[in-house]
Chains A and B, each alone.
Chain A
Amino acid sequence: GDSVTQMEGPVTLSEEAFLTINCTYTATGYPSLFWYVQYPGEGLQLLLKATKADDKGSNKGFEATYRKETTSFHLEKGSVQVSDSAVYFCALSDGSSGYSTLTFGKGTMLLVSP
């Protein structure tokens, strides 16, 4: 079945450092790919998405490019802030049905210090 593997955390960075969180996937067909973020005490919210190969999703300074050849969707940000401290989830949607269930990775906690 479909699966998502993302790097284990926590990832600890100083403010203004460069961030990469790796995500690779296994899926049949042509999934859509997502990054969700969960701030402390809150539910998940969509950060960015890409629906086909070579698409780049971007939002709030975060970017990720859908790489079909390496089955990857790594999350990057050039300069992190303390307010980016959260848990980040990579996910895929198989898109084979109208209701599109998502398969999530286990999440990566990011801690940014001043």
Chain B
Amino acid sequence: DVKVTQSSRYLVKRTGEKVFLECVQDMDHENMFWYRQDPGLGLRLIYFSYDVKMKEKGDIPEGYSVSREKKERFSLILESASTNQTSMYLCASSTTGGSNTGELFFGEGSRLTVL
């Protein structure tokens, strides 16, 4: 089974802490994405990467950074967590070209609570 695995399903952090959310995919996909999901707002794109060491800002990059040192791994970093970053974070991957172009494969999500 192809999979996108997010390292933590639930996290509780304090304001000001540095937070790492890890995502690994086993499909050899070129593209990886981080979204946040909030009630009434749907999914909003934070950052994405189309190649190792490459990153692009999405719609809401403020307060976040990312790292992609290996093709299969894409990390989301909150340098100094704030309460308004309490959310569900979803990682996804996709390939470029072929019949699956545009289809995203999602992980199960990481629910982060910042106190």
Contacts and interface: CB of A to CB of B under 8 A. Distances in A.
7 contacts: A34-B103, A36-B106, A42-B109, A45-B106, A93-B102, A102-B45, A105-B42
Interface string B75-115: 00000000000000010101011000111101111000000
Interface of A: 32, 34, 36, 41-46, 49, 51, 89, 93, 95, 98-102, 104-107
B107 A43 contact: yes
Interface in B27-44: 30-31, 33, 35, 40-43
A20 to B, nearest CB: 19
Interface in B9-39: 30-31, 33, 35
Contacts of B109: 42-43
B74 interface: no
B40 A106 contact: yes
B66 interface: no
B106 A44 contact: yes
Contacts of A45: 106
Given A43-B4, A93-B102, A99 B43 contact: no
Contacts of A99: 30-31, 48, 50, 94, 96
Given A49-B102, A102-B102, A43 B90 contact: yes
A100 to B, nearest CB: 4
Contacts of A32: 101-102
Of A36, A89, A93, A102, which is in contact with the most chain B CB atoms at under 10 Å from its CB? A102
Contacts of B58: 101
Of A34, A100, A105, A107, which is in contact with the most chain B CB atoms at under 10 Å from its CB? A100
Contact of A95 (B4, B33, B102, B107): B102
